[in-house]
Structures are given as C-alpha cells and as structure tokens.
Amino acid sequence: MSPSRLFTALCATLISLSAFAGATNQPTTRPIRVALYEDAGASPNKIAALLENVPTLKVTRVTAEQIRTGALDDADVLIHPGGSGGKQGATLAEEGRQRVRAFVQRGGGYVGICAGAYLATCDYTWSLHILDAKVIDKAHWARGNGPVEVSLSEPGQQLLASPKQSCSILYFQGPLLAPASNPDLPDYQLLGTFESEVHKDGVPGGVMKGTTAITSSTFGKGRVFCFSPHPEKTPGLEPMLTRAITWAANR
C-alpha cells in the first residue's frame, strides 16, 4: 500500500474509533416505564402525584381494557394500587389477569399496594397467582385504619434503604400475608413484619402481629413486590415506593 493510501486508511480508522467512543459515552439509561392501574377498585391518584416528578420514571395510567389489548407491551413495571383487590381482579377478567401474568413471567415487574397485594396472592379466584402467599383471617379483612409498627428484615432494610429496623406505616385494611406453600411458585422473601395491630370493634385482636407486611419474590423472569400498608401515604416513607419500583424493574 502506498504511503498516501496508508495515511487515508489510518485517518478513516481513527474517525471510526472516535465516533464509537462518542457513542458509548452517551447516556443509555432511559426512564423506567411504569403502567399505573386506573380502573374500578383502584385509587391511583396519590401514587400518580407522587411519581410524576421523579425523573427516572415515566408513568402512564392504564385501564383493564387497555391491559387486555396489549398496553403492558410498552411497560417495565405495573403498579396495582390500593382500593379493592376483588374489584380490580374482576374488572381485569380472566383475559386481563392472564395478560398481567404473562407480562411478569416474561420479565416485567409488579408492585402491589394493599389491594394490589391481595391481587398478587394465590388465595382467591380473582387473584393473579404470582406470589406464593395466602391471606390470614379473610373473614375480618376490614380490620380498620391507622398507623402500625413494621419491623424490617436485613434484606428489607437494604432494599428499601431504611436506616432503621422498624418504622410506623399507615395501614388501611391491607392483607395479613403468610406463605401459601404453593409448589408451583417460589417462596417469597420476608422484608417486613407487622409488630403492632389495628382492629376495630368486632374484629378479634392478636392476629395481625407477626404476619407479613412487606414481601418480594420472582415469577418466571419477572419480579413481584408487595406492600400491605401504605408507604406512599406515610410522610417520610414515600421513597420506599420508588425503591420498590426500581427493584421490580431489575435496575
């Protein structure tokens, strides 16, 4: 090769390497695409207001019909908020529930809060059956509302970035969870345990303490995270929801 051709080839190589280096130095992390369930039995407004200004998240509200027609194809994480787990499950219908299961199974994330945690269990005909959990004392699900003390396990402290081993979280009749021992589902990881209880008149006491309040697991290639109480409604604990979303998205 002549000197002039060699010089031209070297220049072309340097330009290519420079372009490659410039490309690899560009930011590649996109926001986590969050689908927030908004339909019968769901109360998403508090969560939407909390997350709308988080720059690492892009939140889109979705209905049951939109889920049935493929809305989760463009999502990384699905949030089912508080409200009524039974109404959410019934509104999704079997086709919608199967869509959610398929979404998580192929690698999507699921975050359930209160009603959304009921929905994740394998304990009801309308459940998603993506969390190996049963609900304790179904007859008294309407236990009442109020702050409860929750102790965090070591994994719970790490995942939720909590400097304390226990915290007070607002509770609104969320599920009291326990392992269901379903052979088709992996055991869940205990992240938080109820250490105090809420029970209004007519509801027996001594049941809530020691049951699971916060948990995580996997389903297929995806991740499941459930809160029985409401950190998003508890002043100072709102970042727990963002941590759960980030974990569920496998970021």
The predicted-structure confidence for 164-173, as pLDDT tens digits, reads as follows 999 999 999 9
Residues whose CB is less than 8 angstroms from the CB of residue 215 and which lie 6 or more positions away in sequence, other chains included: 131, 133, 177, 188, 189, 190, 191, 192, 225, 226
How much is the pTM?
Answer: 0.88
* Model pLDDT, residue 143: 92
* The CATH number of domain 29-248, selected from 3.40.50.450, 3.40.50.1970, 3.40.50.970, 3.40.50.880: 3.40.50.880
Residues whose CB is less than 8 angstroms from the CB of residue 27 and which lie 6 or more positions away in sequence, other chains included: none
Q: Kindly list the domain boundaries of the chain, sorted by start residue.
A: 29-248
The predicted-structure confidence for 171-200, as pLDDT tens digits, reads as follows 999 999 999 999 999 999 999 999 999 988
- Tens of pLDDT along the chain (251 residues) come to 554 444 444 444 333 433 334 333 444 589 999 999 999 999 999 999 999 989 999 999 999 999 999 999 999 999 999 999 999 999 999 999 999 999 999 999 999 999 999 999 999 999 999 999 999 999 999 999 999 999 999 999 999 999 999 999 999 999 999 999 999 999 999 999 999 999 888 888 899 999 999 999 999 999 999 999 999 999 999 999 999 999 999 98
Q: Which backbone phi and psi does 20 adopt, to 5 degrees?
A: -65, -45
